[in-house]
Amino acid sequence: KNICVVGLGYIGLPTASVLADHGYLVHGVDVRPDVIEIINRGEIHIHEPHLGELVNKVVSQNKLKASTEPCEADVFFICVPTPINEDKTPDLSYVEAASKAIQPYVRAGNIVILESTSPPRTTQDVVVQNAIPEDLEVGKDVYVAYCPERVLPGRILIEVVENDRIVGGVTTACTDKVVEFYKSFVTGAVLPTDAISAEITKLTENAFRDVNIAFANELSILADKLGADVFEVIKLANRHPRVNILTPGPGVGGHCISVDPWFLVHACTGATPLIKTAREVNDMKPHYVVQQIIEAANRFDNPTIACLGLAYKADVDDFRESPSTEIATMLTESGVGVVLACDPYANSNNLPGLNLCTLQESIQKADILVLLTDHRQFLELSPEDRYGKTVIDPRGAWSSTKASRVGINNAA
Ligand code: SAJ
């Protein structure tokens, strides 16, 4: 079988290379010529464990080839971004453009799969409308399904194969065909359903996590105001057999959990006050952390503040919607002191406007050390490195109560 994967980012590229490694001939498509060139050299443009080796292997075996144009294939994957607009409404322009781009190549017998996280009805209203030629009948001539990606950045290559998958066909014939196809490379269960249930299920998973993190973040503010250690409280509460609170942090980032719940909120006006409030609580948390830092800074005369970690979570190179970056930027703009920013994955191209420096320089110069993203390098620091400095640690990663790791363990 020939496969065409449109969108070679965090989902499309791992999916394309895993399929190629399972014997399929894969044609990857991306609008960025620089990305195409990098992949065709057998290299990658993102950071994800083991992905570089796999891409190198399948490109050198001629099983994966990238191009800016789609081609004819048996199976088409759409793995493009679905961001939100300024007003938090979904921006489906990439799904629409990808659907239109494959339409001239879709033939009878083909499968078209949408993997991008999308609002309810996108598979029918955007993909079927734009990707399927008028003379082909869905469920009879061509098969269309929504199969949400569920992989955790940092574990993508494992989860793309091992996670249970949901296949929501536009008709039951579509579901059956696409289930059979996923079973050829997925070891987890492949669960059949309809398109709208699959769309809502994906959004529900991320909204569930967002609401639970918001609960932890709300608790952290309450505890801070009352002078208690939130990590101690969570550690103790989690010893109840039916309580499992996640970990507070500087806020919620990444392009999934901080975005997807809005798709549910906008799908049904007024029906989701809890999901909407959770989003607002998590979006407010970086501002609260900035206030905490400014209060600490005001006890010094022109202090040096080092922000450790800018990525949205530990050990990834993704700065999209990162509360850590937001905090470092707000502090820099506040003029509260000299603000240094340190992240092993940062450079001035992906993070303009910040005073980037090494970990060693941060430790040497800082009066106030703020641990924003718990990258491995920062957890390995010894307590002596922090000695004599004011420490602000919203994730509790350096906290001696250790409860801070509970949520992260849940994540992995
Ligand atoms: N976070 C906390 N406290 C926690 C757990 C996470 O503050 O206890 C923060 C993280 O620091 C980060 C954000 O939440 O800023 C999101 O991180 P995450 O690890 O929870 O999730 P993502 O965005 O990396 O990946 C999620 C996953 N969804 C779920 O776990 C339900 C993943 O399986 C999805 O495939 C992915 O979204 C996606 O693409 O939708």
pLDDT for 203-236, tens place per residue?
A: 999 999 999 999 999 999 999 999 999 999 999 9
Residue with tokens 């922090």: 386
The tokens of 46 are what? 């993102």
User: What is the position in ligand 1's atom list of the atom closest to the CA of 149?
Assistant: 35
User: What residues act catalytically?
Assistant: 202, 256
Domains in the chain (CATH in brackets) are 2-188 (3.40.50.720), 204-411 (3.40.50.720)
Mean pLDDT of 142-158: 95
**Measured distance CA(261)–CA(279) in Å, rounded:** 7
Residue nearest to atom 28 of ligand 1 (CA): 206
Ligand 1 centroid to 231 CA: how many Å?
A: 19
DSSP annotation of 271 reads S
- Confidence band, pLDDT 50/70/90 cuts, at residue 352: confident
153 ligand 1 Cβ < 6 A: yes
**Nearest CA to 20 among 50, 61, 52, 48?**
61
Mean pLDDT of 335-349: 93
Determine the 3-state secondary structure of 194 from DSSP. Answer: strand
Determine the 3-state secondary structure of 156 from DSSP. Answer: helix
- Confidence band, pLDDT 50/70/90 cuts, at residue 401: low
Residue nearest to atom 9 of ligand 1 (CA): 252
Residue nearest to atom 18 of ligand 1 (CA): 411
Please return the burial class of 292, using the count of CB atoms within 10 Å of its CB with bins 0-12, 13-18 and 19+: middle
Q: What is the pLDDT of residue 402?
A: 45
Mean pLDDT of 73-87: 96
User: What is the position in ligand 1's atom list of the atom closest to the CA of 255?
Assistant: 23
Contact between residue 78 and residue 112 where contact means Cβ atoms under 8 Å apart:
yes
Q: What is the pLDDT of residue 148?
A: 97
Sequence-distant (6+) residues with CB within 8 A of 216 are: 230, 234, 245, 246, 247, 248, 249, 407
Task: Give the rounded percent of residues in the chain with a pLDDT score beyond 90.
Answer: 92
Residue with tokens 């699959």: 198
Ligand 1 centroid to 142 CA: how many Å?
A: 34
71 pLDDT more than 50: yes
Determine the 3-state secondary structure of 193 from DSSP. Answer: strand
Mean pLDDT of 324-331: 98
Residue nearest to atom 22 of ligand 1 (CA): 152
Sequence-distant (6+) residues with CB within 8 A of 159 are: 150, 151, 152
> How confident is the model over 24-56, as pLDDT tens digits?
999 999 999 999 999 999 999 998 999 999 999
403 ligand 1 Cβ < 6 A: no
151 ligand 1 Cβ < 6 A: yes
Mean pLDDT of 394-402: 81
User: What is the position in ligand 1's atom list of the atom closest to the CA of 153?
Assistant: 24
205 ligand 1 Cβ < 6 A: yes
Best residue among 204, 219, 252 to mutate for probing ligand 1's pocket (most ligand atoms within 8 Å of CB) is 252
DSSP annotation of 129 reads H
Task: Give the rounded percent of residues in the chain with a pLDDT score beyond 70.
Answer: 97
Q: What is the pLDDT of residue 411?
A: 34
Ligand 1 centroid to 378 CA: how many Å?
A: 20
**Measured distance CA(371)–CA(342) in Å, rounded:** 10
Best residue among 206, 246, 282 to mutate for probing ligand 1's pocket (most ligand atoms within 8 Å of CB) is 206
**Measured distance CA(82)–CA(194) in Å, rounded:** 21
Tell me the average pLDDT of the chain.
95
151 pLDDT more than 80: yes
Where does residue 270 fall: left (phi above 0), alpha (psi -120 to 50 degrees), or beta otherwise?
left
187 pLDDT more than 50: yes
**Measured distance CA(284)–CA(301) in Å, rounded:** 28
312 ligand 1 Cβ < 6 A: yes
Please return the burial class of 408, using the count of CB atoms within 10 Å of its CB with bins 0-12, 13-18 and 19+: middle
Quick check: pTM over 0.90? Answer: yes
Buried b (16+ CB within 10 A) or exposed e, 62-97: ebbbbeeebeebebbbbbbbbebeeeeebebebbbe
Sequence-distant (6+) residues with CB within 8 A of 320 are: 253, 254, 255, 312
Q: How many CB atoms lie within 10 A of CB 353?
A: 12
- One-letter amino acid for residue 316 of the chain: V
249 ligand 1 Cβ < 6 A: yes
**Nearest CA to 228 among 220, 218, 240?**
220
407 pLDDT more than 50: no
Residue nearest to atom 40 of ligand 1 (CA): 256
- Confidence band, pLDDT 50/70/90 cuts, at residue 404: very low
User: What is the position in ligand 1's atom list of the atom closest to the CA of 210?
Assistant: 14
149 ligand 1 Cβ < 6 A: yes
Ligand 1 centroid to 197 CA: how many Å?
A: 21
**Measured distance CA(19)–CA(185) in Å, rounded:** 7
**Measured distance CA(116)–CA(5) in Å, rounded:** 12
User: What is the position in ligand 1's atom list of the atom closest to the CA of 314?
Assistant: 11
Ligand 1 centroid to 312 CA: how many Å?
A: 9
Residue nearest to atom 38 of ligand 1 (CA): 256
- Confidence band, pLDDT 50/70/90 cuts, at residue 350: confident
Q: What is the pLDDT of residue 408?
A: 33
> How confident is the model over 120-135, as pLDDT tens digits?
999 999 999 999 999 9
User: What is the position in ligand 1's atom list of the atom closest to the CA of 251?
Assistant: 7
Determine the 3-state secondary structure of 42 from DSSP. Answer: coil
